[in-house]
């Protein structure tokens, strides 16, 4: 993504976010409800999306551009998906960032003069009477150590079929080709039904003849990372300054060796811009928010990589 595309994309997403929220509010008010079904605004929003030209590399998922966009707005805290195709607009909230101590307003409905002050969708706020939510509580999850403790203490018996076993090591997961050498009591990453479309992922340990553990399908990246970090693995990041980003102060490209888990991804979405929406390892962030991004990375035991 070149400099012009970066600036255009940030502006485009802000404009579409404001438009989408106001459209949902209008349609909901028109129907006398606090939520609205996607069928009520889908055609209107698709036409609006069609007015912009955005690189297909940004919307890199299998779902339609519309659905990817709505999912992105949900991850940024702008709207909420209520299930069965219903959406609603969330009230505005103020979030305090841990490094810069900046305050961002999430969910605003009007275009503001500071729209270029943040690559993300949230609006920077200079002063506010409302109490700001600390970033770690805005989107909260257990620490890596807490997750390992959950897996170690679990006594849930699990049934496995045609399973594959992976042992966490300092270098990553190592596939176990001889199940008879599995160490009883140690935690393993296990894929049940590996050749089926709906695979089941577990972290479990062998106790006597049983496997006890937790299914991690909804928390795959965080759970896997917790297991690896416990064995000495360290994910890494690299920082590169982007030149000539007019309208933004000192933009940096952060390249990761490991995908961000859902909670941490939603945290950094407030003040950074992903290079793509799915399986993203590259984020653009301004110097003002660099400490905040690195704070999130440090909670996941990321270390800086210097290839020079």
- The per-residue pLDDT for range 108-159, each reduced to its tens digit, is 988 765 445 689 999 998 877 788 999 999 999 999 999 999 999 999 999 9
The whole-number pLDDT of residue 115 equals 47
Q: With bands split at pLDDT 50, 70 and 90, how would you rate the model's confidence at 55?
A: low
Q: What is the dihedral of CA 157, 163, 169, 173, to 10 degrees?
A: -130
Domain limits for position 259: 236-304
pLDDT confidence band for 247 (50 / 70 / 90): low
Q: Pick 50 or 218 by higher pLDDT.
A: 218
In a domain, 139, yes or no: no
- What percent of the chain is modeled with pLDDT above 70? 93
SS3 letters for 166-185? Answer: EEEECCEEEEECCHHHCCCC
* 86 occurs within a structural domain: no
* Local confidence band at 9 (pLDDT 50, 70, 90 cut-offs): confident
Does residue 43 form part of some domain? no
Nearest to 46 by CA among 65, 22, 23, 72: 65
Residue 259 lies inside a defined structural domain of this protein: yes
Q: Are residues 190 and 246 in the same domain?
A: no
Residues 168, 243: one domain? no
| Residues 218 and 295 occupy one common structural domain | no
pLDDT of 196? 80
Share of the chain above pLDDT 90, in %: 76
Looking at the structure, do residues 159 and 214 belong to the same domain, yes or no?
Answer: yes
pTM, entire model: 0.91
- From 213, 229, 245, the end of a domain falls on 229
DSSP for the chain reads: --HHHHHHHHHHHHHHHHHHHHHHHHHHHHHTSS-EEGGGTHHHHHHHHHTS---TTTS-SSS-HHHHHHHHHHHTTSEEEEETTEEEEPPPEEEE-TTT--EEEES--S--TTTTS-SSSSEEES--SSPPEEHHHHS----HHHHHHHHHH---B---SS-EEEEEETTEEEEES-GGGPPTT-EEEEEESTTSSS-EEEEEEEETTEEEEEE-GGGHHHHHHHHHHTTT---EEEEEEEP--TTSSSEEEEEESSPPPHHHHHHHTTTEEESSSSS--EEEEEGGGHHHHHHHHHHTT-EE----
Examine the domain organization and report whether 206 and 253 are in the same domain: no
pLDDT band at 308 (very low <50, low <70, confident <90, very high): low
Domain-located, residue 185: yes
Average pLDDT (157-170) is 94
Q: Is the pLDDT of residue 294 over 80?
A: yes
Retrieve residue 300's tokens.
């996941």
Kindly state whether residues 289 and 242 are assigned to the same domain: yes
Same domain, 218 and 159: yes
Does the residue 12 lie in any domain? no
Task: Please determine, for residue 7, whether its predicted confidence score (pLDDT) is greater than 60.
Answer: yes
Confidence of residue 4 (pLDDT cuts 50, 70, 90): low
Last residue of one domain, picked from the residues 211, 229, 247 = 229
d(CA 6, CA 2): 6
Structural domain includes residue 14 = no
**pLDDT tens digits for range 69-121:** 999 999 999 999 999 999 999 999 999 999 999 999 999 988 765 445 689 99
Based on the fold, state whether residues 271 and 292 are members of the same structural domain: yes
What is the number of domains present in the chain? Answer: 2
- 28-41 pLDDT, tens digit per residue, is 999 999 999 999 99
Q: What is the pLDDT of residue 159?
A: 92
Lowest-confidence range among 129-143, 238-252, 260-274?
238-252
Tell me what pLDDT residue 129 has.
Answer: 77
Question: Are 256 and 276 within one domain?
Answer: yes
Same domain flag for 150 and 221: yes
Q: Are residues 150 and 225 in the same domain?
A: yes
Domain final position from 198, 229, 260: 229
Whether 297 has a pLDDT exceeding 60, the answer reads: yes
**Phi and psi at residue 175, in whole multiples of 5°?**
-70, 135
Residues 217 and 294 grouped into a single domain:
no
For residue 72, tell me if it sits in a domain: no
């Amino acid at each position: 993504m070149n400099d012009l595309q970066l600036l255009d994309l940030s502006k485009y997403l802000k404009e579409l976010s404001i438009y989408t929220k106001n459209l949902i509010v209008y349609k909901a008010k028109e129907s006398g409800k606090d939520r609205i079904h996607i069928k009520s605004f889908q055609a209107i929003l698709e036409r609006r999306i069609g007015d912009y030209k955005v690189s297909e590399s940004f919307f890199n998922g299998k779902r339609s551009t519309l659905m990817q966009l709505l999912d992105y707005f949900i991850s940024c805290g702008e709207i909420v998906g209520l299930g069965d195709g219903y959406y609603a607009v969330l009230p505005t909230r103020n979030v305090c960032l841990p490094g810069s101590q900046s305050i961002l307003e999430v969910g605003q409905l009007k275009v503001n003069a500071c729209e270029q002050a943040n690559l993300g969708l949230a609006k920077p706020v200079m002063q506010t009477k409302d109490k700001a939510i600390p970033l770690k509580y805005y989107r909260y999850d257990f620490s890596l150590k807490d997750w390992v403790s959950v897996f170690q203490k679990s006594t849930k018996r699990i049934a496995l079929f045609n399973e594959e076993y992976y042992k966490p090591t300092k270098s990553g997961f190592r596939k176990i080709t001889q199940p008879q050498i599995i160490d009883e009591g140690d935690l393993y990453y296990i894929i049940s039904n590996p050749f089926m479309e709906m695979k089941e992922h577990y972290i479990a340990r062998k106790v006597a003849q049983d496997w006890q553990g937790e299914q991690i399908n909804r928390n795959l990246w965080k759970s896997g990372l917790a297991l690896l970090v416990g064995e000495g693995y360290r994910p890494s990041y690299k920082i590169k300054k982007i030149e000539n980003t007019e309208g933004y102060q000192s933009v940096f490209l952060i390249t990761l060796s490991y995908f961000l888990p859902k909670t941490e991804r939603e945290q950094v979405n407030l003040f950074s811009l992903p290079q793509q929406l799915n399986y993203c390892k590259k984020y653009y962030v301004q110097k003002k928010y660099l400490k905040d991004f690195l704070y999130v990375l440090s909670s996941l035991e990321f270390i800086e990589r210097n290839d020079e």
